[in-house]
């Protein structure tokens, strides 16, 4: 198993079984038995050695940490593909109510091997991604999908967008993750499925207000709220009383 001291750049992958708490005791025990074996088979199929990963299990959930060594694109691409294949085979032998469906998240950054697990904001960020409502919504919107994945923006840009995998950027959709103190962009994928809008991205950003002279201004600027039908253009050749009126001056050229 890889060892290091202090904070070292690592890749974190976390997975969690969907709707685990709704299963009876025997099924929960079966999931805890089967999940690490499915993950190990997916790693072997990819040519990755999980014995070199530091793994923190928690019932239906697992967090794996590995020092960055150039294999991250294979983790994002090949490992996820093999994991989907393993889940498909596993679920094909079970009734629909006994399927194992996973939420997954991948992030990278400095991690320390601490006294009671892992330390560092990288681990916290991975956990926030895994808890995102976007993953729950994606599995709900794609009832036949076995896996929904979130990549942090850093991982997405350094692997998928960087052209270091066989994945297309069209397979991902940008989402805004807001969990507790964490708020950042991430990239959602449902392997084998078109990523549908979950309607959970939050409110759209405010659009700039267009002024009467064709520019734009924010709320702190002077607003020009006169409608066209309220404006008239007149040429004055004699003294007039303009009290209560609004007058604009311009040249004949505009």
Give yes or no for residue 107 having a pLDDT over 60.
yes
Q: For position 109, which CATH number holds?
A: 3.30.70.1230
Under a CB-based contact definition with an 8 Å cutoff, are residues 139 and 194 in contact? Answer: no
pLDDT band at residue 1, thresholds of 50, 70 and 90? confident
Does residue 237 fall inside a structural domain? no
pLDDT tens, position by position, 4-23: 999 999 999 999 999 999 99
- What is the rounded CA–CA span in Å between residue 103 and residue 96? 17
**Residue whose token pair is 């530091």:** 54
- Residue 147 tokens, joined: 């896996």
Indicate if the alpha-carbon torsion angle 37, 42, 48, 53 is positive or negative.
negative
**Residue whose token pair is 């008239």:** 232
- The domain in which residue 83 lies consists of 8-189
Does residue 2 fall inside a structural domain? no
Provide the pLDDT for residue 219.
40
Does residue 204 fall inside a structural domain? no
pLDDT tens, position by position, 57-96: 999 999 999 999 999 999 999 999 999 999 999 999 999 9
Does residue 107 fall inside a structural domain? yes
> Strand ranges (DSSP E) for 68-172?
102-114, 117-119, 147-152
- What is the rounded CA–CA span in Å between residue 225 and residue 70? 57
Provide the pLDDT for residue 30.
95
pLDDT tens, position by position, 142-184: 999 999 999 999 999 999 999 999 999 999 999 999 999 999 9
Does residue 85 fall inside a structural domain? yes
- What is the rounded CA–CA span in Å between residue 58 and residue 253? 74
Question: Which candidate, 67, 59, 144, 151, places its Cα nearest to that of 106?
Answer: 151
Which helix (H) or strand (E) covers residue 56, if one does?
Answer: strand 54-58
Provide the pLDDT for residue 208.
36
Does residue 250 fall inside a structural domain? no
Q: Which residues pair with 54 in a beta bridge?
A: 65
Does residue 221 fall inside a structural domain? no
Provide the pLDDT for residue 205.
35
pLDDT tens, position by position, 214-238: 444 344 333 334 344 444 545 555 5
Question: Which candidate, 159, 154, 149, places its Cα nearest to that of 193?
Answer: 149
pLDDT tens, position by position, 18-57: 999 999 999 999 999 999 999 999 999 999 999 999 999 9
Give yes or no for residue 203 having a pLDDT over 50.
no
Provide the pLDDT for residue 136.
97
If one counts the domains in the chain, the total is: 1
- What is the rounded CA–CA span in Å between residue 53 and residue 33? 19
- What is the rounded CA–CA span in Å between residue 233 and residue 229? 11
- What is the rounded CA–CA span in Å between residue 195 and residue 117? 34
- Report the percent of the chain where pLDDT is more than 90: 73
Provide the pLDDT for residue 245.
54
Does residue 134 fall inside a structural domain? yes
């Amino acid at each position: 198993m890889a060892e290091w001291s202090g904070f070292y750049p690592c890749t974190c992958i976390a997975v969690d079984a969907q709707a685990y708490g709704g299963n009876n005791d025997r099924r929960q025990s079966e999931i805890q038995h089967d999940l690490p074996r499915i993950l190990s088979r997916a790693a072997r199929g990819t040519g990755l050695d999980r014995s070199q990963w530091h793994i923190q299990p928690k019932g239906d959930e697992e967090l794996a940490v590995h020092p960055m060594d150039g294999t991250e694109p294979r983790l994002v691409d090949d490992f996820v593909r093999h994991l989907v294949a393993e889940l498909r085979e596993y679920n094909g032998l079970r009734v629909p109510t006994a399927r194992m469906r996973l939420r997954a998240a991948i992030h990278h950054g400095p991690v320390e091997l601490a006294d009671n697990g892992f330390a560092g904001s990288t681990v916290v960020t991975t956990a926030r991604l895994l808890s995102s409502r976007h993953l729950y919504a994606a599995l709900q919107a794609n009832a036949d999908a076995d896996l929904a994945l979130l990549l942090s923006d850093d991982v997405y840009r350094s692997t998928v967008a960087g052209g270091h995998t066989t994945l297309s950027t069209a397979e991902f959709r940008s989402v805004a993750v807001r969990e507790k103190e964490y708020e950042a962009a991430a990239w959602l994928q449902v392997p084998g499925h078109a990523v549908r809008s979950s309607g959970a991205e939050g409110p759209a950003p405010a659009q700039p207000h267009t002024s009467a002279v064709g520019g734009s201004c924010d709320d702190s600027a002077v607003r020009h709220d006169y409608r066209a039908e309220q404006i008239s253009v007149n040429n004055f050749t004699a003294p007039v009383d303009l009290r209560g009126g609004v007058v604009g001056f311009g040249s004949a050229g505009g």
